């Protein structure tokens, strides 16, 4: 089933430009970041809907291909997921026979997660689509230099959260959808 059509917005950054949906909220960085995340996830769904891949699923398949020696704890950390969410993610991929679990020598509790032949085949198509998706985003951002600047700015925001001691602050799962 194809994702629903999404109304495209264009922005004229001139001083007399009409405010797009959100009005006064458009000057709030966090609001704009969230809108950008939602827009990019919707576009991701357009590229990957027939492969039935979510962003975290594609990310895990890519990690398994590029870092096959990584253990579950490292994969969970790289994906910034809670352990329970990681297990659910692996379960979904295992049901589709895209990954398999096998025992780790010397540790009866640990399981090695590896790509199956079917998973590798799907990932090959996923990587082609990822490159096309990235090209589309690159064009929207204004080219390689704008992409590099944007990634640098995002890294600064990510580092803000990583360098601060958040142990006293309750953290909501970043993959959980918000209501409203």
pLDDT at 134: 94
Query: Domain ranges in the chain?
Result: 37-162
What is the DSSP annotation of 54-117?
-HHHHHHHHHHHH-TT--HHHHHHHHT--HHHHHHHHHHHHHTTSEEEEEETTEEEEEEEEE-H
Per-residue confidence (pLDDT) for residue 22, from 0 to 100: 62
CA neighbor of 62 nearest in space, from 25, 96, 103, 93: 93
Region for residue 21 given its phi and psi (left: phi exceeds 0; alpha: psi -120 to 50; beta: otherwise): beta
**Per-10-residue mean pLDDT for the chain, 180 residues long?**
45 45 82 94 96 97 95 93 95 97 84 95 97 94 93 92 59 44
Cα separation, 146 vs 11, in Å, equals 17
Contact 123, 115 (CB under 8 A): yes
The pTM assigned to this predicted structure is 0.75
pLDDT of residue 166: 53
Q: Kindly give, in sequence order, each residue whose CB lies less than 8 Å from that of residue 175, ignoring residues fewer than 6 positions away.
A: 56, 81, 85
Distances (CA, A) of 59 to 24, 93, 174: 34, 12, 15
Encoded tokens for 26: 């458009």
Beta-bridge mates of residue 103? 111
Please name the residues in contact with 132: beta carbons below 8 A apart, sequence gap of 6 or more. 47
Q: Return all residues near 143 (Cβ < 8 A) that are at least 6 apart.
A: none
Top-level class of domain 37-162 = mainly alpha
Q: Which two tokens stand for residue 82?
A: 């809670």
């Amino acid at each position: 089933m194809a994702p629903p059509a999404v109304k495209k917005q264009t922005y004229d950054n001139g001083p007399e430009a009409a405010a797009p949906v959100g009005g006064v909220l458009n000057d709030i960085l966090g609001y704009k970041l969230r809108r950008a995340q939602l827009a990019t996830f919707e576009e991701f769904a357009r590229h990957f809907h027939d492969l039935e891949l979510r962003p975290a699923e594609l990310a895990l398949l890519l990690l398994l291909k590029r870092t096959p020696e990584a253990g579950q704890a490292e994969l969970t950390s790289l994906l910034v997921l809670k352990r329970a969410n990681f297990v659910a993610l692996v379960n979904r991929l295992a049901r589709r026979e895209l990954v398999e679990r096998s025992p780790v020598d010397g540790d009866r509790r640990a399981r090695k997660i590896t790509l199956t032949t079917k998973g590798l085949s799907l990932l090959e198509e996923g990587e082609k689509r990822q490159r096309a998706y990235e090209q589309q985003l690159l064009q929207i951002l204004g080219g390689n230099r704008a992409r590099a600047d944007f990634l640098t700015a995002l890294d600064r925001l990510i580092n803000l959260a990583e360098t601060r001691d958040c142990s006293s602050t309750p953290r909501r799962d970043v993959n959980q959808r918000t209501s409203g």
